[in-house]
Amino acid sequence: MRSRLHLVPAALVVWSTALVGLLWTWWAAAALGVLAGLLGAAAHRRCAPAAVAVMVTGPVAACWIGFQVHQSTHHPLRAQAERGASTTVHFELVDRPHPLRTTGFGSRPGGVDSVVVRAELSDGAEIAVLAPTAAWRELLPGQRVAASGTLAPPLRAELTVAVLRVRGPPLEVGRAPVWQRAAESLRAGLRRASEPLGPDAAGLLPALVVGDTDGVSTRVVEEFRTAGLSHLLAVSGANLAILCGAVLLVLRLLRAGPRGCAAGAMAALVGFVVLAGPEPSVLRAAVMGAVALLALVLGRERSALPALAAAVVVLVLYDPALAVAPGFGLSVVATAALVLLAPRWAAAMRDHGVPVGVAEALAVPMAASLATAPLVAGISGQVSLVAVPANLVTGPVVAPATVLGVAAAVLAPVHAGAARVAAAVAGPEIEWLVLVARTAAAVPGAAVRWPGGWGGGALLIGVLLLAWAVLRLKRLRVLAVAALVGAGLVLVPLEVAAPRWPVPGWSVVACDVGQGDAVVLATAERDRAVLVDTGPDPVPVLACLRGLGVRRVPLVVLSHLHADHIGGLAAVLAEVGVGAVAVGPSRRPRWAWEEVRERARAAGVRVVELVSGQRLSWPGLELDVLGPRAGPVEDANTAVNDASVVLRASTGAGRVLLTGDIELAAQAGLLGRHADLRADVLKVPHHGSRYSSAAFLEAVRPKVALISVGAGNRYGHPSGVLLDALASRGALVLRTDQDGDTAVLPGPEGPRIARRGDPPGRN
């Protein structure tokens, strides 16, 4: 075992040196590397191989990493970035542009409207370019580009000397290398071959095969994260292992010798790296695979652990910024777990009578999930409780889907029909991945919140070590199992008898959907409710509806067509039975209206228009449409806001006034028409902006004011002036950014409220 570990201390020294340099300063990295080298020299007689490795790599890391960190912090562009200077920069793209997903708000649609790309200056320094999607998305690594923009300082923990913010297209664009053009042709062919699949599967197949996530929806990304399957959306060692394994199998069937097999696998490895792009996880897996293949050629015993350690040394010295890259860390830790833990756990399960195949199938996801859990918790601020079973049931389909996806990419330039056939055969496997992620993410408590950052990761490591220590001791093991069983016997019946959410008898729920609106109105029919607005993203509104047990929505009302009110519509139409979609007279902005019509048409749901004076009724719920009046609406945000549908709902908890985003003009119009605005509950207009008049608030006089607003939003919502005005009129103010999903239910003296997660009985 020691012979397998002699490179591990060297890898830890190099990685630690880079971490210290990036997180602190260059001289600290130099000092740590030199100190490690001296300790290695002092210990070389006791553990010669490991000590010699540390003695060599320590000073090398000190000099090389310290030099790079010093150069990046003292680069001339760094000083210009601190001043926010505008300039023209010539550079070469290092990787493909990566999309930045944004949440829609107002007239701006959500989605991908900008990209970020790494680039290298002529002196070897690295910059990051933030640019519009339309003009930059098609650029490839190796292209020489000139662009004008504004410089900004980079994050501290990286070697990037500056961030260049570009508003328009590049000024000059060189020709990409021929191999990069060929790789992009293959990737484009894979995207075209995937198009006949369903929308989710069509975006997921390129992501699974080559890490191309452009077509993956926000909903799928969130579901995979909650289910602990995010690693499938990034290229890693698993992709290379699957591909090289398939190539080796074919070559062995053709009776190729060890060197022929190694040469074929190496060719596949190099080709895949070019196809997928030089991502950190791809480079790590490629270097590790090259070391293993070299061992095969030399006729020596292959060992994954030395290969992994060698990969860490080579890659971190090549690019010290990998030391703080989350994907790189996850990839290394997962591989180490598969090498060190999975075989032992599988052997232990076999010793207890578990069949060999079942033991290995259980050990692999358990080892990878537990080992990476601290990193995932620190990065995402949550711990997935369904990751192991989700990975277990998806594992068998990943390999065939990957091989078929690569085949589709390779066949696309030769025969488009054959490529589509390969993608179609991969379709059921991809649909299975989507189904598992969606089902796992919908499990109550699928992911629990956890402190983020370094502290959160360290805390989870401590918890896992404590659990391991307890389970190692028989007496404590019995005590721990007894405590868990006892807790289950007490808590589960309590949860069933007095569920915390949904609160029985709820009438209205303001869903926590971030900076947007989604309000659910209960009917007297079980599992049915009316939904007013769908928030900016699909995941929060679906989580709210699932938490309430709503399976049928006879009507979805879109108060107006801004992105933060319609962003979740497609997911609601796909997930919940919807009777109709209702809109007001406004058809602005135009892109949003077209999207609503297309989404409804694809779901087979009709779109109806609400007009002032109309009444809609369901058992236990009545809606009166108070506004707006019909008429042309301009594209300006204020005009669209003032064209919001205003509803007065009669519920079991009293009157509820739903106001969309109406501002001063629309409020004055309602007052001028002497509309009956009195309500027990007010959904405060426009996320609590300052544009609500005192006369309007006086006319409503709510007992409860619900403000749907996102935490830390950049719009200053809710306004302090408005909060004071509501409080002075005796309203109980509730905010989704602080209270989460908030329910209003009837009470003997007026509306009562409950927040999701409150103890039973709290008001």
User: Could you tell me which of 55, 64, 59, 126 has the C-alpha nearest to residue 91?
Assistant: 126
Same domain, 46 and 165: no
Same domain, 487 and 552: no
In this predicted structure, which of 84-93, 345-354, 517-526, 596-605 has the lowest mean pLDDT?
345-354
Which band of pLDDT confidence, cut at 50, 70 and 90, is reported for residue 288? low
Which band of pLDDT confidence, cut at 50, 70 and 90, is reported for residue 489? low
Is 361 within the bounds of a domain?
no
The amino acid at residue 414 is V
Strand (E) or helix (H) holding 532: strand 529-532
**Chain segment 411-427, per-residue pLDDT in tens:** 999 999 999 999 999 99
Which band of pLDDT confidence, cut at 50, 70 and 90, is reported for residue 4? low
Is 403 within the bounds of a domain?
no
Rounded alpha-carbon distances, angstroms, from residue 606 to 78, 277, 533, 573: 56, 44, 16, 11
Choose one of 497, 524, 549: the last residue of a domain.
497
**Chain segment 218-274, per-residue pLDDT in tens:** 889 888 988 988 888 877 766 777 787 788 788 878 888 877 887 888 888 888 888
- If one compares 202 and 306, the residue with the highest pLDDT of the two is 202
In this model, does residue 498 exceed pLDDT 50? Answer: no
* Cα distance between the two ends of the chain: 61
User: Could you tell me which of 44, 437, 425, 25 has the C-alpha nearest to residue 233?
Assistant: 437
Which tokens is 529 given? 């409710």
Pairing of strands 98-102, 126-132: unpaired
Q: Are 718 and 685 in contact (CB under 8 A)?
A: no
Same domain, 260 and 125: no
The answer for residues whose C-beta is within 8 angstroms of residue 720's C-beta and 6 or more apart is: none
Q: How far apart are CA 616 and CA 610, in angstroms?
A: 10
Average pLDDT over residues 367-386: 84
In this model, does residue 307 exceed pLDDT 70? Answer: yes
Q: Are 749 and 718 in contact (CB under 8 A)?
A: no
Length of the chain: 763
Is 390 within the bounds of a domain?
no
The predicted pLDDT at position 98 comes to 85
Which tokens is 593 given? 């209206």
Tell me the whole-structure pTM to 2 decimals.
0.77
Is 382 within the bounds of a domain?
no
The predicted pLDDT at position 187 comes to 92
Chain centroid to Cα 493, Å, comes to 34
Rounded alpha-carbon distances, angstroms, from residue 9 to 6, 36, 51, 93, 313: 7, 10, 8, 34, 10
Q: How far apart are CA 291 and CA 634, in angstroms?
A: 64
Which tokens is 390 given? 């989700």
50: containing domain: 2-73
The predicted pLDDT at position 460 comes to 87
In this model, does residue 496 exceed pLDDT 60? Answer: no
CATH number at residue 172: 2.40.50.140
**Backbone angles phi and psi of 297, in degrees to 5:** -65, -40
Q: How far apart are CA 477 and CA 169, in angstroms?
A: 63
In this model, does residue 93 exceed pLDDT 70? Answer: yes
Question: What is 567-629 written as a DSSP string?
Answer: TTHHHHHHHSEE-EEEE-S---SHHHHHHHHHHHHHHT-EEEE--TT-EEEETTEEEEEEE--
In this model, does residue 680 exceed pLDDT 90? Answer: yes
User: Could you tell me which of 747, 613, 616 has the C-alpha nearest to residue 681?
Assistant: 747
Q: How far apart are CA 20 and CA 22, in angstroms?
A: 6
Q: How far apart are CA 36 and CA 58, in angstroms?
A: 5
Q: Are 712 and 736 in contact (CB under 8 A)?
A: no
Is 106 within the bounds of a domain?
yes
Q: How far apart are CA 65 and CA 73, in angstroms?
A: 12
Q: How far apart are CA 322 and CA 706, in angstroms?
A: 45
Same domain, 135 and 243: no
The predicted pLDDT at position 763 comes to 47
Q: How far apart are CA 576 and CA 529, in angstroms?
A: 11
Same domain, 629 and 728: yes
Same domain, 139 and 24: no
The predicted pLDDT at position 492 comes to 45
Q: Which of 33-47, 151-165, 225-239 has the highest mean pLDDT?
A: 151-165
Same domain, 84 and 59: no
Same domain, 480 and 574: no
Which tokens is 689 given? 């902006």
**Chain segment 450-471, per-residue pLDDT in tens:** 888 878 888 888 888 877 777 7
Which band of pLDDT confidence, cut at 50, 70 and 90, is reported for residue 486? low
Q: Are 544 and 509 in contact (CB under 8 A)?
A: yes
Say whether 507 sits in a helix, a strand or coil. coil
In this model, does residue 754 exceed pLDDT 70? Answer: yes
Which tokens is 267 given? 């060719």
Angle formed at CA 733 by CA 728 and CA 734, multiple of 5 degrees: 175
Say whether 74 sits in a helix, a strand or coil. coil
The predicted pLDDT at position 761 comes to 41
Average pLDDT over residues 560-570: 95
The answer for residues whose C-beta is within 8 angstroms of residue 295's C-beta and 6 or more apart is: 301, 302, 303, 307
The beta strands (E) that lie in 659-759 are given as: 681-683, 704-707, 732-735, 742-745, 752-755
In the chain, how many domains are there?
A: 5
Question: Average pLDDT of the chain?
Answer: 87
Which tokens is 343 given? 């075989």
The amino acid at residue 464 is L
Question: What is 657-676 written as a DSSP string?
Answer: EE-TT--HHHHHHHHHTT--
Which tokens is 115 given? 């990209």
In this model, does residue 480 exceed pLDDT 70? Answer: no
Choose one of 25, 50, 73: the last residue of a domain.
73
Q: How far apart are CA 534 and CA 551, in angstroms?
A: 15
Instruction: Please give, one letter per residue, the 3-state secondary structure of 2-17.
Output: HHHHCCHHHHHHHHHH
Choose one of 176, 196, 225: the last residue of a domain.
176
Which tokens is 695 given? 């006369």
Is 416 within the bounds of a domain?
no
Output the CA torsion sign for 332, 290, 121, 132. Answer: negative
**Chain segment 319-361, per-residue pLDDT in tens:** 898 888 887 887 788 778 877 888 888 888 888 888 877 787 7
CATH number at residue 632: 3.60.15.10
Same domain, 123 and 61: no
Which band of pLDDT confidence, cut at 50, 70 and 90, is reported for residue 479? low
In this model, does residue 757 exceed pLDDT 70? Answer: no
Which tokens is 333 given? 């830790």
In this model, does residue 300 exceed pLDDT 60? Answer: no
In this model, does residue 474 exceed pLDDT 70? Answer: no
The predicted pLDDT at position 1 comes to 47
The predicted pLDDT at position 196 comes to 94
User: Could you tell me which of 376, 438, 392, 432 has the C-alpha nearest to residue 205?
Assistant: 432
User: Could you tell me which of 435, 456, 459 has the C-alpha nearest to residue 229?
Assistant: 435
Q: Are 543 and 513 in contact (CB under 8 A)?
A: no
User: Could you tell me which of 744, 720, 725 has the C-alpha nearest to residue 651?
Assistant: 744
Helix 387-411, helix 178-194: angle, nearest 10: 110
Rounded alpha-carbon distances, angstroms, from residue 92 to 73, 260, 647: 20, 36, 56
The amino acid at residue 567 is G
In this model, does residue 639 exceed pLDDT 70? Answer: yes
Is 412 within the bounds of a domain?
no
Same domain, 246 and 325: yes
Q: How far apart are CA 306 and CA 5, in angstroms?
A: 7
Rounded alpha-carbon distances, angstroms, from residue 356 to 334, 350, 362, 363, 393: 22, 6, 10, 11, 17
The answer for residues whose C-beta is within 8 angstroms of residue 464's C-beta and 6 or more apart is: 370, 373, 374
Q: What secondary structure letter does DSSP report for 382?
A: E
Same domain, 29 and 158: no
Q: How far apart are CA 57 and CA 64, in angstroms?
A: 10
Chain centroid to Cα 310, Å, comes to 31
Same domain, 158 and 290: no
Q: How far apart are CA 432 and CA 436, in angstroms?
A: 6
The predicted pLDDT at position 517 comes to 97
In this model, does residue 280 exceed pLDDT 70? Answer: no
Which tokens is 293 given? 């293949």
Which tokens is 538 given? 């699909």
Pairing of strands 646-651, 447-449: unpaired
Say whether 550 sits in a helix, a strand or coil. coil
In this model, does residue 503 exceed pLDDT 50? Answer: yes
Average pLDDT over residues 181-187: 91
Give strand pairing partners of 734.
706
The amino acid at residue 14 is V
Is 351 within the bounds of a domain?
no
**Backbone angles phi and psi of 521, in degrees to 5:** -115, 120
Give strand pairing partners of 578.
553
- If one compares 79 and 46, the residue with the highest pLDDT of the two is 79
Angle formed at CA 458 by CA 453 and CA 462, multiple of 5 degrees: 150
Which tokens is 297 given? 């050629």
The answer for residues whose C-beta is within 8 angstroms of residue 484's C-beta and 6 or more apart is: none
The predicted pLDDT at position 109 comes to 66
Torsion of CA 109, 110, 113, 116, to 10 degrees: 160
In this model, does residue 283 exceed pLDDT 50? Answer: yes
